[in-house]
Structure 1
Amino acid sequence: MRIGLYPGTFDPVTRGHLDIIERAALLVDRLVIGVAINRDKGPLFSLEERVAMIESECADLGEKTGTEIAAHPFENLLIDCANDVGAQVIIRGLRAVSDFEYEFQMVGMNRALDSSVETVFLMAEARHQAIASKLVKEIARLGGDVSKFVTPAVQQALADKRG
């Protein structure tokens, strides 16, 4: 069984994330969405809320792609999380060249820690390349329309946080 791990903070999950998840699901038999706890980033949504968003947003994708999709919270090293879930491949999304520089360093470190886990990069679709969770949160906080960037359920969750 080919198991892939797609890690991120997903605060919140965007249409760009969902695009990568759907495309990654076509490459593996089981796709684990690693939801990073990452207290240093001070996420807007709690871990439980982010996991629930991923599960809700991906519920139909598993059936559509024929791939088992599961959310898995983690706080350890990415390579350790990959080993914990039995992943042979880590899937990373790229939006721009600036993403590549950071990701290139991460791949080198992960390969040094465990050379049996491969990393695969998927380029975001052109219409999703500008989407970043940080910017989506800022637009929502200031009352802007985020409907192009997130699903209606996530848009409502952002509105609820705004109060």
Structure 2
Amino acid sequence: MTVAFYPGSFDPITNGHIDVLVQALNVASKVVVAIGIHPGKTPLFTFEERASLIRQSLSGVLPERAGDVSVVSFSNLVVDAARAHDAPLLIRGLRDGTDLDYEMQMAGMNRQMAPEVQTVFLPAGVASRPITATLVRQIAAMGGDVSAFVPAPVLAALKARQKG
């Protein structure tokens, strides 16, 4: 059984994240989706809300593999968190060359710290390449339609947040 560790803020999870998560399930038997918690940042959704949205979103696209995904939080180095979950694979999604440049630096540093943890880059599909959680939050906050960028449970949560 191969375990992959897929870290991010997932605030909120987007169709791009789901695309990469589905690909990760093609290369690993289990995927740990790891929500980074940073004390200096105030997320739009709490950890519990993000975890629930991840589970709901995956169940909508790949219900037969939902049991192969766990959602955890971490606040330490990503390689230490991957080790703690016995995950030898670190999943990183790539949208473009800018992502690749940044991710290659991170992969190099992570390899120095944890040579047993292998970074695996998975390319985002064409439709999800322009999507970022930051842009989704900004568009939604300004009343824009983000339905093409997020799974249905996230869209509902964003609309509920706007009303509240």
TM-score bracket for the superposition, by shorter chain length: over 0.9
- Correspondence 1:14-53 to 2 at 5 A: 14-53=14-53
The equivalent residue for 1:133 is 133
2:87 match: secondary structure: coil
Confirm or deny: 8 A CA contact 2:16 2:124 kept in the other structure: yes
Q: Which aligned segments of 4 or more residues in structure 1 are displaced greater than 4 angstroms? A: 60-63
Q: TM-score by structure 2 length?
A: 0.93
Which deviates more from structure 2 when the two are superposed, residues 90-99 or residues 31-40? 31-40
- For structure 2, the 5+ residue unaligned runs are none
1:144 match: secondary structure: coil
Alpha-carbon shift at residue 42 of structure 1 (Å):
2.3
Provide the rounded CA distance (Å) in 2 between the counterparts of 1:11 and 1:110.
Answer: 23
Q: Aligned-residue CA RMSD in angstroms?
A: 1.6
The letter for the 1-side match of 2:70 is A
The letter for the 1-side match of 2:149 is F
CA deviation profile, 1:24-81 (whole Å, cap 9, x unmatched): 1011111110111123342111111111111222235665358711111111110011
Provide the rounded CA distance (Å) in 1 between the counterparts of 2:15 and 2:32.
Answer: 18
The equivalent residue for 2:3 is 3
Number of residue pairs the alignment of both structures matches: 163
What's the % identity of the aligned pairs? 39
Q: TM-score by structure 1 length?
A: 0.94
The equivalent residue for 1:76 is 76
Provide the rounded CA distance (Å) in 2 between the counterparts of 1:108 and 1:40.
Answer: 26
1:40 match: secondary structure: coil
Provide the rounded CA distance (Å) in 1 between the counterparts of 2:162 and 2:63.
Answer: 33
2:28 match: secondary structure: coil
